[in-house]
Amino acid sequence: MATPTLKLNPPFRAEHIGSLKRPSKLLQKRKEFDSGKCSIEELRQVEDEAIRAIVDLQRQVGIKGITDGEFRRCAQLPLFTSAQLDSARARKRHMFYDGVFDNLEGMKHVKPVPPEMLMDYVPDVAAFKEHDFKGADTHICVSKLKRTKPFYVPQFEALKALTKPEWFHLRHGEYAYPKDVYKNDDEYFADIALAYQAELQDLYAAGCRNIQIDDPLLAYFCADSMIRGMEARGIDHAALLDTYIKAYNACLKGRPADMNVGLHLCRGNFRNGLYFSEGGYDRIAIKLFREINVDCYYLEYDTPRAGTFEPLKHLPPHKAVVLGLISTKFPRLEDVDDLVQRICVSPQCGFASHSEGNLVDEHAMREKLALVVRTAKAIWGDI
């Protein structure tokens, strides 16, 4: 086998991850749509305008890996029949994991989730339960899983962030699928892998060459709280991590050689800096960097919660890492000299993992993105 070589451009020296701040006009319009006060066409027009503006903004500040800011997330409207539209209106949609499982045949929308079906050791579940978690919804596997329509292709403009394949499996533990549908995790993930493989092929055919997968769950395996919780319930967390790594590699199997795949890990990105987990990458570094077949990693590094750079020594020479040192959680701009000392650059996560986004206004977001580019130029001369 040929020696793998480091792929760059993408990732670019100055990067950002997925979501950008949604303009208030767009949020307002989505509310109107959700309450039946405007048509899909009206909503789509406002989305289109907002995406044009956010693409311009990224170009102006010098970002090369353009995204649509995830402005269409929650709104895969062209695929909906009117009945589906009503059910889409009725259910609370999720900004940062919608796309795959809500479009997969065999998954059922459940609202509210019976609390016992949510595993307390998962850090964001624990955080939400503390913050009054009533009425939450989810998707549960009820029959064989099959991709019968595209997940993200209709949204694809430049590049899109895909959700992680193990999301519902980790959250729901033994409730993730009925045992008469799948005998074990391997069977369950084999069908999920087929769905992801088909999606990647379709995205490739649509011109997509750069994928970001948003996966805070892998970072949860760095958190003592989850490890302790799993041990208390007799769950073999090391084996589970291996299962997820195997699932990733199955999902990515057969992808075209010139399709770049990056994996983003963080510890939660809510308003006011609310986060779910902490712990450096040390515990999972060897498996994360050496066993998952992705090309690069977008790692949160904006607070001590992410630990040190030490684990990066396990990164193989053919893989790139993008260090998320610039915080999107707060508007205060970091000092360039300080950032240069530490090698950089990208925000630590998106600006709007949930609909209204973090407490960073559009002006501050533009400044942040421009800062990413300025910092990259200060280090490498050009990006």
Minimum Å distance from CB 332 to Zn ion? 19
Minimum Å distance from CB 280 to Zn ion? 16
Minimum Å distance from CB 165 to Zn ion? 17
Sign of CA dihedral 19, 198, 292, 168: positive
Minimum Å distance from CB 301 to Zn ion? 12
Question: Which range, of 127-135, 136-144, 190-198, 259-267, touches Zn ion by CB under 5 A?
Answer: 259-267
Residue with smaller CB distance to Zn ion, 263 or 266: 266
Residue with smaller CB distance to Zn ion, 195 or 266: 266
Minimum Å distance from CB 189 to Zn ion? 23
* Pairwise CA distance, residues 22 & 297, whole Å: 25
* Pairwise CA distance, residues 61 & 347, whole Å: 14
Minimum Å distance from CB 264 to Zn ion? 6
Residue with smaller CB distance to Zn ion, 193 or 261: 261
Residue with smaller CB distance to Zn ion, 26 or 219: 219
Residue with smaller CB distance to Zn ion, 74 or 349: 349
Binder to Zn ion among 104, 176, 219, 266 (CB under 5 A)?
266
Q: Is residue 322 part of the contact set for Zn ion (CB under 5 A)?
A: no
**Contact (Cβ atoms closer than 8 angstroms) between residue 101 and residue 147:** no
Q: Which 267-286 positions form the footprint of Zn ion (CB under 5 A)? A: 269
* Burial class of 116 by CB neighbour count within 10 A (0 to 12, 13 to 18, 19+): exposed
* Pairwise CA distance, residues 215 & 193, whole Å: 16
Q: What is the largest CA-CA distance in the chain?
A: 59
Which pairing describes strands 210-214 and 104-110: parallel, antiparallel, or unpaired? unpaired
Closest by CA to 173, choosing from 270, 243, 265, is: 243
**Contact (Cβ atoms closer than 8 angstroms) between residue 123 and residue 223:** yes
Residue with smaller CB distance to Zn ion, 250 or 292: 292
State the virtual CA torsion across 26, 29, 30, 34 in degrees, nearest 10: 180
* Pairwise CA distance, residues 71 & 19, whole Å: 8
Minimum Å distance from CB 108 to Zn ion? 27
Binding mask 336-375 for Zn ion (x = CB under 5 A): -------------x--------------------------
Total residues binding Zn ion (CB under 5 A): 3
Q: Which strand (E) or helix (H) includes residue 159? A: none
* Pairwise CA distance, residues 35 & 181, whole Å: 37
In 212-267, which ranges are continuous DSSP H helix? Answer: 216-220, 224-232, 237-252
Minimum Å distance from CB 184 to Zn ion? 30
Residue with smaller CB distance to Zn ion, 141 or 348: 348
Residue with smaller CB distance to Zn ion, 269 or 327: 269
**Applying CB under 5 A, which residues contact Zn ion?**
266, 269, 349
